[in-house]
Amino acid sequence: MKNIITFSAPSKVILSGEHSVVYGYPALITSINKRLIFSLSEENVFSNENDLKNKEIVGLIEKIIISYLKKHKIAYCKKKYFFKIDSEIPVGYGLGSSAALSVAAAACFLKFLSGKNFPKEVINDLAYQIEIYFHQNPSGVDNTASCFGGLIYYRKEFDFLKNISFLNFKIPETFSLYLINSGRPKEKTKEMVNVVFEKYKKNPLFFENIFINIQKTTKKMVLAIKEENANLFYEAILDNEIFLEMLGVVSLKTKKLLQKLFPFGVGKVTGAGGKDDKSGFILFFAKKEKELLSFLKEQKINFFKFSFDNKGVYEKS
């Protein structure tokens, strides 16, 4: 039996900077411990049947990797393959499921075709190219978090110039953070990015002002985490949600849910959001943790505890 090559990559949460990051403003992101595992083998040793959509996506990823190997004159062997995707990451909820697939599959194909391991910088650049297929105009923030892991301050100046600062501290365990599911948005990420872009074109000064305020909030959040200042973090979450609502990426249903949750703490949409029905996951800072959990269970609202990841992508033995 041929060896199976397997790579694992984590999901992500944008703490601050959704949408504004597309326009060159900073974002603060962290990877979380929900993972996607991608495997390749020369023999059909997998029990699952891959649907046509995944076959098309995986075929595209293979082409991108082969193009890179050819361009850099790296020896490789094109061969028949079978693949398997196992994921804990909800698809279409703003937690970076496509980025985790892009990262894990890029790393896996590089090793499968060339027999070599590649630096994370190479994996990340290739994952960004794959993300363009999914989202048309991605910021690169999702794949960066999934590839490197940890807490990252990210700014995209150009496609060829991305400033990535790896912060050597993590979110304090004293911050009671949860991810609460408001429901899967009707809109895809690229649709929500386009919604903001169309509004931006009509009123650029207004939106630039919002982006500047989001930037201030992002920096406030960095300080709050660094200084373990719960009150400052609380303020930053609250401010961030207000600005996201001004961008028009938070649905009425999600706003009402946040109002119901307000007695227990504050929350914000994380990811691209959704305007017509639901808006994906809410990052929630709990001030009254027991009461929050009781309410969520009573209302049968899906949630999970925030769990920090600092490993990024890695090969599983």
Q: What is the pLDDT along the chain (317 residues), one digit of tens a residue?
A: 468 999 999 999 999 999 999 999 999 999 999 999 999 999 888 876 656 678 889 999 999 999 999 999 999 999 999 999 999 998 888 898 999 999 999 999 999 999 999 999 999 999 999 998 877 777 788 899 999 999 999 998 887 788 889 999 889 989 999 999 999 999 988 899 999 999 999 999 999 999 999 999 999 999 999 999 999 999 999 999 999 999 999 999 999 999 999 999 999 999 889 999 999 999 999 999 999 999 999 999 999 999 988 899 999 97
Buried b (16+ CB within 10 A) or exposed e, 12-33: bbbbbbbbbbbbebbbbbbbbb
Q: What is the pLDDT of residue 161?
A: 81
The encoded tokens of residue 244 equal 């996201």
Closest CA to 248 of 267, 234, 269, 233: 269
CB 31 within 8 Å of CB 312: yes
Other beta carbons within 10 angstroms of residue 287's beta carbon come to 14
Distances (CA, A) of 74 to 68, 113, 228, 274: 8, 10, 46, 42
Domain 177-307, architecture per CATH: 2-Layer Sandwich (3.30)
| H or E, element range at 24 | none
Domain limits, the chain: 5-170+309-316, 177-307
The encoded tokens of residue 1 equal 């039996």
CB 275 within 8 Å of CB 166: no
In the chain, where does DSSP find H-type helix?
Answer: 52-71, 97-114, 120-135, 141-148, 189-202, 204-226, 230-247, 252-261, 289-298
Torsion of CA 229, 234, 235, 239, to 10 degrees: 140
Q: What is the pLDDT of residue 2?
A: 61
The encoded tokens of residue 133 equal 């297929």
Three-state SS letters, 186-201: CCCHHHHHHHHHHHHH
Q: What is the pLDDT of residue 1?
A: 47
Class of domain 5-170+309-316: alpha beta
Buried b (16+ CB within 10 A) or exposed e, 227-263: eebeebbbbbbbbbbebbbebebbbeebeebbeebee
| H or E, element range at 182 | none
The encoded tokens of residue 252 equal 């009425």
CB 21 within 8 Å of CB 249: no
The encoded tokens of residue 163 equal 């400033």
Helix and strand counts by DSSP (H, E) for the chain: 9, 11
